[in-house]
Amino acid sequence: MSDAGRTPATGGVRTVRIAEDRDGQRLDNFLLGYLKGAPRSLVYKIVRSGQVRVNGGRVRADRRLEGGDEVRIPPVRIEDPAAKGSPSPGLLEAMAASIVFEDARLLAINKPSGIASHGGSGISFGVIETLRALRPNQELELVHRLDRDTSGLMVVAKKRSALSELQALMREDAGAGLRKRYLALLLGRMPDGVMSVDAPLHVGLRQGGERHVQVDPAGKPSLSHFRVLERRGGQSYCEVRIETGRTHQIRVHARHIGHAVAGDDKYGDAEANRRLRERIGLRRLFLHATSLEFALDGGRAPYVLTAPLAPDLVEALDRLA
């Protein structure tokens, strides 16, 4: 059957033929959209166990699909979305207030720290579920994701054509068609100028399915550029440009060069984080996606989207002076 109907496969095995407009979409993202309400952990589990097949063969979750591929999807039990209720009024209000740009094709938000990109792993409502609750009559799909603890710019597609074109830009030249810029506070004194980190990253899974990333020659090519904007209180406030969009890329590259991101409880320095928490009230990761530049319509429609630094990070930075 075609994926046009997109009815969740709950009662039995289904074989879904991938439509041409989904060409290039990752398998995990396709399944998350097809199996509405399925936790991300469940999607990865059925792929890893071989229950999901593409053209009869086992595949990885990051497999890029092609138009005409046939995807075998096993029966899965998905909680009725109505049973989860709806996002809280506070979350709905925060998400509505976070919108920084919108046109006929795209919607961009300044995501608050602490909100996941999507539900799953004990989280009922992430960015996409909350936006869909706000706009129940619109087709909304995540273009990319941010870590739960990272704040800043996230882009959501309102049209399938825009999603497909942006996904193509992310695939080409390791995502060079999307120019991403972040702001981060790094521990210690970074040297002047631009420090480029060209270090391959490998994503591993710890017990319980938690992702852990490390520099590994067998990993995927990853390139980040760190530039000090100013030094405050012995720390370095930096602009970070990334030419690839790997999981936890900035955080792992920052640790790799000996200047972990302040407030990073996964890859950072616990003692330094404690001191910053007591000194400037920094209680979360100081990493903010501040801008994204790209062009649609074959380069004829340029976009420059920005999201101002989150207020709690501005206050923490001011206390460092």
- State the Cα–Cα distance between residues 141 and 32, nearest whole angstrom: 10
Q: Of residues 147, 149, 264, 269, which has the active-site annotation?
A: 147
Query: What is the chain's alpha carbon radius of gyration, rounded to the nearest angstrom?
Result: 20
- State the Cα–Cα distance between residues 238 and 157, nearest whole angstrom: 29
Neighbours of 70 (CB within 10 A): 13
Measured in degrees and rounded to the nearest 5, phi and psi for residue 131 equal: -65, -40
Q: Is 147 a catalytic residue?
A: yes
- State the Cα–Cα distance between residues 70 and 80, nearest whole angstrom: 26
SS3 letters across 196-250: EEECCEEEEECCCCCEEEEECCCCECCEEEEEEEEEECCEEEEEEEECCCCCCHH
β-sheet bridge partners, residue 153: 110
The residue to which tokens 């989280």 are assigned:
123
Q: How far is CA 179 from CA 29, 99, 151, 306, in A?
A: 22, 20, 17, 12
Catalytically active residues, by annotation: 147
